[in-house]
Amino acid sequence: MQIAIRSEKPGDIAGIEGLTRAAFLEAPHTDHTEHHIVNALRDADALAISLVAELEGKLAGHVALSKVTISDGSSHWYGLGPISVLPGLQGEGIGSALMRAALEALDNAGAHGCVLLGEPEFYRRFGFAPNAGLTLPGVPEAYFLARKLGGEWPQGVVSYHAAFQVKAN
């Protein structure tokens, strides 16, 4: 299976929305707003990095990264998510390829670190772990994960872009 990872292009937007919607359709612990979040980030010009995975020339996955704020004033930190893979292709390495490409893109952008909300078993292999100094209100510590890429570990409350507050319609 030949997976190609590249930056999002304008012609990908509808495909990204469809695959994101499909990826989370049967997922537990979701309110099914992930595709709305990606669109709202893009509309607010807050989609810092947007990568797609292609398989045989067709969109198979997507990952979004946006800047986050931390109450201690630390900068150059990003939030990863949502990350989406078409349901029939999950478990085939596409999500892992997107994660590696996202971390490389963050490193190239001079990011100091990245946070995400997700399953620790999956993200641990990419160096993510809970960090007691970083919190996301209302989220169990075990599922709010961070990876430092440079600089010092920040200490504080993390806030995602307002696009993450979008409601399903």
Number of domains in the chain: 1
The confidence band for 168, taking pLDDT boundaries of 50, 70 and 90, is low
pLDDT at 26: 80
CATH of residue 24's domain is 3.40.630.30
- Residues whose CB falls within 8 Å of the CB of residue 138, separated by 6 or more in sequence, listed in order: none
Quick check: 134 pLDDT over 80?
yes
**What residue numbers bound the domain in which 147 lies?**
3-165
- Residues whose CB falls within 8 Å of the CB of residue 79, separated by 6 or more in sequence, listed in order: 65, 66, 67, 68, 114, 115, 116, 158, 160, 161
pLDDT tens across 17-31, in order?
Answer: 999 999 988 876 677
pLDDT at 14: 95
